[in-house]
Amino acid sequence: SSKALQENLTLKATHEAKLVLVKSEAPKPGPGQALVHVRATGVCGSDVHFWQHAGLGPWKITGETALGHESGGVVIALGEGVTNVSVGDRVAIEPGVPCGKSTCSYCRTGQYNLCPTVDFYSVPPADGTLTRYHVHPAGWLHKVPDTMTFAEIALLEPLSVCLHATMRAELRLGMPVLITGAGPIGVVQLLCAEASGCSPIVITDLSKERLDFAKQLVPDVVPLLIDPKRAPIDTAQDIIAAFTQATQGVGGTGNNGEVMPAVTMECTGVESSIAVASYATQPAGLLFIIGVGKSEQTIPFMHLSTNEINIKFLFRYRDTWPRAIRLVAAGKIDVKRIVTSRFPLERAKEAVEHAADRSKFSVKTLIIDEDE
């Protein structure tokens, strides 16, 4: 393409916990790579954490690392040998690129998110996609229909998290489901549980505004404001009462005609919420933990043990984009409804600060080139 490129801008977090918007030349795609004009990127809680703590868990920022891993855009140039995408295609960027070698049992068996040498863009040393021009291995770009908006393309990433969770948790028609936490992941999980036919669905949070937002997304959901000072076992009783009331005590799954969640989708990673979830989940049910938090946590061990409650975890996603694209393109999941604020790339720093500011209401902040 002979079209002149604009100045490249990239939002980076530094080892001194600062945000810097860096100007550069657009990169050139090498063999097997494509150059993407990124048109929308969602801000994730981990971007905020990487910036404010100059790292996350085991990963430390040593120099500067570009933020962002929820992105979509248009292919504008191809490196040698690329055949799966063409210039002009709208694409979603899958940000986790595993080794892909046949000697790696995780890659070989399709569990590529568990590849020990996966490069996850925005986790140091790999730069993220919060930039205007991003070079990506072409095989990890997913072509989407031309009718899909850039906001929708970016949101295929958090949808991927929740689709992988929905599949691993085997959410089914008519299952009572509890969702703890109404942040971006909690509300996307709510959309997935609703689309799976789960009923009733109860969602918890400490924030009334986030619960109101969830209720506006899915009017059938039962929102429950949590008092963090209350004992987890008592909060769990409130949740079971909410399920029982929502079903008028019919179709009981617990003792005494109580209705309990067959599956709890834990979307906070907070120890007290995991305790609540442990006590609320039906015996022989599933406590599915998406949230991440402290590296060592105490759980209600004997309650979980004597009730044969299963526990499963999640690490990102594998092979979810094709399904996510079909669901959004078919209108089965309207994921763009979780967007609460939009900023242009020139104001990317402000966007991340906005997403981090707990005094301002936000669910999903997007950095987006509005000119679609």
Interface residues with ligand NAD (CB under 6 A)?
A: 45, 161, 180-186, 204-207, 210, 226, 228, 267-270, 272-273, 290-293, 314-316
In the complex, the smallest distance separating the C-beta of residue 97 from Zn ion, rounded to whole angstroms, is 10
State how far the Cα of 46 lies from the Cα of 96, in Å rounded to an integer. Answer: 14
Instruction: Look at residue 115 and give the partner it binds from Zn ion, ligand NAD, none, a contact being a CB closer than 5 to 8 Å depending on partner kind.
Output: Zn ion
State how far the Cα of 55 lies from the Cα of 193, in Å rounded to an integer. Answer: 32
Q: Is 267 a binder of Zn ion (CB under 5 A)?
A: no
H-type helices in 207-266, by residue range?
208-217, 232-246
Residue placing its CB nearer to ligand NAD in the complex, 200 or 291: 291
What are the C-alpha distances in Å from 102 to residues 96, 113, 126, 229, 275? 18, 15, 23, 51, 41
DSSP state of 131: B
Residue placing its CB nearer to Zn ion in the complex, 115 or 222: 115
In the complex, the smallest distance separating the C-beta of residue 70 from Zn ion, rounded to whole angstroms, is 23
Interacting span for Zn ion (CB under 5 A) from 101-109, 186-194, 257-265, 271-279? 101-109
Burial class (CB in 10 A: 0-12, 13-18, 19+), 354: middle
- Which phi and psi (to 5°) does residue 240 adopt? -60, -40
Instruction: Look at residue 281 and give the partner it binds from Zn ion, ligand NAD, none, a contact being a CB closer than 5 to 8 Å depending on partner kind.
Output: none
Residue placing its CB nearer to Zn ion in the complex, 98 or 124: 98
Can you give the length of the chain in residues? 372
Sequence-distant contacts of 309-312: CB under 8 A, at least 24 apart: 309/278, 309/281, 309/282, 309/283, 309/284, 309/285, 310/284, 310/285, 310/286, 311/286, 311/287, 312/168, 312/169, 312/286, 312/287, 312/288
In the complex, the smallest distance separating the C-beta of residue 91 from Zn ion, rounded to whole angstroms, is 23
Residue placing its CB nearer to Zn ion in the complex, 115 or 275: 115
Return the residue of 75, 76, 104, 263 that touches Zn ion, per CB under 5 A.
104
State how far the Cα of 177 lies from the Cα of 199, in Å rounded to an integer. Answer: 7
Instruction: Look at residue 99 and give the partner it binds from Zn ion, ligand NAD, none, a contact being a CB closer than 5 to 8 Å depending on partner kind.
Output: Zn ion
In the complex, the smallest distance separating the C-beta of residue 315 from ligand NAD, rounded to whole angstroms, is 5
In the complex, the smallest distance separating the C-beta of residue 123 from Zn ion, rounded to whole angstroms, is 16
Residue placing its CB nearer to ligand NAD in the complex, 78 or 270: 270
In the complex, the smallest distance separating the C-beta of residue 238 from ligand NAD, rounded to whole angstroms, is 12
Q: Is 98 a binder of Zn ion (CB under 5 A)?
A: yes
Residue placing its CB nearer to ligand NAD in the complex, 131 or 189: 189
Q: Is 96 a binder of Zn ion (CB under 5 A)?
A: no
State how far the Cα of 55 lies from the Cα of 77, in Å rounded to an integer. Answer: 32
Q: Is 99 a binder of Zn ion (CB under 5 A)?
A: yes
Q: Choose among 283, 222, 288: nearest CA to 253.
A: 283
Chain position carrying tokens 């799966």:
84
Return the residue of 35, 36, 91, 115 that touches Zn ion, per CB under 5 A.
115
Residues of this chain that bind Zn ion (CB under 5 A): 98-99, 104, 107, 115
